Amino acid sequence: MVTSGKGGVGKTTTSAAIAMGLAKKGHKTAVIDFDVGLRNLDLIMGCERRVVYDFINVVNGEATLHQALIKDKNCGQLYILPASQTRDKDALSKEGVEKVLNELSKTFKYIVCDSPAGIEKGAHLAMYFADDAFVVTNPEVSSVRDSDRMLGLMSSKSRRAEKNQEPIKEYLVLSRYSPERVKLGEMLSVEDVQEILSLHLLGVVPESKSVLNASNAGIPIILDEKSDAGQAYADIVARYLGEEKPHRFIETKRGFFGKLFGGK
């Protein structure tokens, strides 16, 4: 499950990148857009013109899962379940979501849930059944505070919490990071954010123009192997799958920005 609390921090970009990254590694992966009413994931995945049925249709039994799942054009292992644009989050029910997730887990190794912003119903249902959570945070105070709130909800209002099971595994993805601005004191540093959240850092994604370009083109950023952000997400997926990778994009010197701007 990919979440953040705050809007505009890069949840959908991260969901698309992680889902694509897992699929690229050969794992059968489904990605679900929980942002009913404000669907974006299909745009970022570049499949908006192939949406026939959506998540709500499946929850309501108006379409089968097979009918609604869209196979990704870049990777055969990846399927997308888009959100409905015409309905709102009240159309989702705990039972309905559980049914869909149970059915998906029969055929898919990983199910990535793209949570909407906020802490209301959509976000609650996206995290309720989660096993692992990617908490996307920007290096600024309000985003960090909202992520903290979301982490609190996960540890008290999720299925694992209610059934007294092992808690959801939480991973921090720090996005839109700019080492230059940290140096100038305009942004919180990785250390600051980690001190406030005390969370396992999965990776830092640098602020990058390529993310916007990729979103507009409908290609998950992770496929842009030349871009710093794409590489950062590839590292994140690798670390999630248990590979050891040194953290990049945190320092100005020797980092990608240093090279780009001639070691300024």
Partner 1 sequence: MSTDNQTTAYNPPVLEFKSSSFSVPALILSGNELKAIEQQLQEKIKLAPEFFKNSPVIIDLKELTKQHLDIDIALITEITRKLGLLPIGIRGGSLQQNKNALALRIPVYSNSSNRTNPVETQKTIPATQITEDVNPSKEAASSKAMIITQPIRSGQRIYAQGDLIILAQVSAGAEILAEGNIHIYGALRGRALAGVQGNTDARIFCTHLQAELISIAGNYKISEDLTKNIYNKPVHIYLKDYTLVIKEL
- For the bound state, the minimum distance from the C-beta of residue 61 to partner 1, rounded and expressed in Å, comes to 35
Q: Write the burial class of residue 209 (CB in 10 Å: 0-12 exposed, 13-18 middle, 19+ buried).
A: exposed
Is 237 within 8 Å of 78 (Cβ atoms)? Answer: no
CA end-to-end span of the chain: 38
CB atoms within 10 A of CB 254: 10
Smallest gap from residue 193 Cβ to partner 1 (A)? 12
Write the binding mask 156 to 185 for partner 1: x where contact by CB under 8 A, - elsewhere. Answer: x----------x------------------
32: exposed, middle or buried (Cβ count in 10 Å: 0-12, 13-18, 19+) = buried
Conformation bin of residue 224: beta by default, left when phi > 0, alpha when psi is -120 to 50: beta
Shortest Cβ 4–partner 1 spacing (Å) = 13
10 is in an annotated binding site: yes
Residue 7 makes contact with partner 1 by CB under 8 A: no
On whether 6 is known to bind a ligand per the annotation, the reply is yes
102 binding partner 1? (CB under 8 A): no
Span near partner 1 by CB under 8 A; candidates 45-53, 60-68, 150-158, 237-245: 150-158
Report 12-71 residues binding partner 1 (CB under 8 A): none
Distances in Å between the Cα of 258 and the Cα atoms of 10, 130, 255 are 24, 38, 5
- For partner 1, which residue of 48, 196, 239, 248 counts as binding (CB under 8 A)? 196
Q: Which of 62, 152, 261, 263 binds partner 1 (CB under 8 A)?
A: 152
Q: Give the residues lining the site for partner 1 (CB under 8 A).
A: 145, 148-149, 151-153, 155-156, 167, 195-196, 198
